[in-house]
Amino acid sequence: MADHTDTPVKSIGRMATLLETLQQFDGAGVTELANELEVTKSTVYNHLTSLEQHGYVVHEGDDYYVGLGFLDHGEYARQRQIGYQLIRQKTREVAEETGELCQYMVEEHGLGVFLIRESGRQAVETRTRIGNRVHLNHVTAGKAFLAYAPDARVAEIVDKHGLPGKTENTITSTEALEIELQAIRDRGYAVDKDEHLKGLYAIGVPIQYESGQPLGAMSVAGPANRINDEQRAEEIAQLLLEKANELQLTIKHSQS
């Protein structure tokens, strides 16, 4: 799980994997972590206390947890994204008007990151959470993004992360991807029948900057039985495209 690509400052690598497992385990003790990471207890202890002194970790009794120190940096990074406030508002509108779950995702380091998540009245519950990173070929919004990203960028991303499978429907070859992306461009939006999760149907469109480069992608997700019919899907797609277009105009002129 932990990438052993050696980085100049190895302590940062250790810290990163420490935090990841700390989060995975939903809180853990020193020994538990030491066993998992295959390092000495004292090493883990030193890291944890250092992280704690800087607000990145809390301990309750003998268990350590990821702390709220990350929330500050995280929210800063989120609000720094171009058009964040405007897109957030639009996402909310879509969620209310469709009643479904509407999300906005951006790309960073070749992966998709969920930035905004707004639930409508009858929205489904998914496991995705703000900040989660996913492979772009695993989600509808990700494919909508790729379809409108420069070819060179797509190639870079595929080269870096490959096209790992998730379900049997996931696209795992560059040829199939190219065909899919072309289909999305022809259609104007991306559609998925349970690629990410069984029984989930999703529609995604890119949010484009001037010059057409995508900032991210917005998607609506709901239970297949509710969205799968031709009529409703097309309705939602048109709504998304309309909102995306509005955003494109406002972002262009406001630059934030």
Residues that bind a second copy (CB under 8 A): 3, 5, 7-13, 15-16, 19, 23, 26, 45-47, 49-56, 58, 65-68, 70-80, 106, 108-109, 113, 115, 129-133
CA distance 154 to 5: 23
Residue 86 binds which entry of a second copy, DNA, none, with Cβ cut-offs from 5 to 8 Å by kind?
none
CA distance 219 to 195: 14
Examine residue 42 and tell whether it contacts DNA (CB under 7 A).
Answer: yes
Which residue, 72 or 156, is less far from a second copy as judged by CB? 72
Q: Which of 26, 29, 54, 30 is nearest to 41 (CA)?
A: 30
Examine residue 41 and tell whether it contacts DNA (CB under 7 A).
Answer: yes
Amino acid found at 230: E
Which residue, 108 or 229, is less far from a second copy as judged by CB? 108
Amino acid found at 199: G
What is the DSSP-derived secondary structure letter of residue 172?
-
CA distance 155 to 165: 17
Which residue, 11 or 245, is less far from a second copy as judged by CB? 11
User: Would strands 101-108 and 111-119 be described as parallel, antiparallel, or unpaired?
Assistant: antiparallel
CB 104 within 8 A of CB 81: no
CA distance 206 to 2: 32
Residues in the chain: 256
Which residue, 60 or 175, is less far from DNA as judged by CB? 60
CA distance 34 to 128: 29
Examine residue 2 and tell whether it contacts DNA (CB under 7 A).
Answer: no
The tokens describing 204, both together, are 């995604």
Examine residue 39 and tell whether it contacts DNA (CB under 7 A).
Answer: yes
Least Å distance, CB 94 to DNA, is: 39
Which residue, 77 or 176, is less far from a second copy as judged by CB? 77
Residue 209 binds which entry of DNA, a second copy, none, with Cβ cut-offs from 5 to 8 Å by kind?
none
Stretch that binds DNA, among 31-39, 66-74, 80-88, 182-190 (CB under 7 A): 31-39
Restricting to residues 5-24, which ones interact with DNA according to CB under 7 A?
A: 8-11, 14
Least Å distance, CB 51 to DNA, is: 11
Whose structure tokens read 């720094």? 80
Examine residue 227 and tell whether it contacts DNA (CB under 7 A).
Answer: no
Q: Which residues bind DNA (CB under 7 A)?
A: 8-11, 14, 29-32, 39-43, 45-49, 62-63
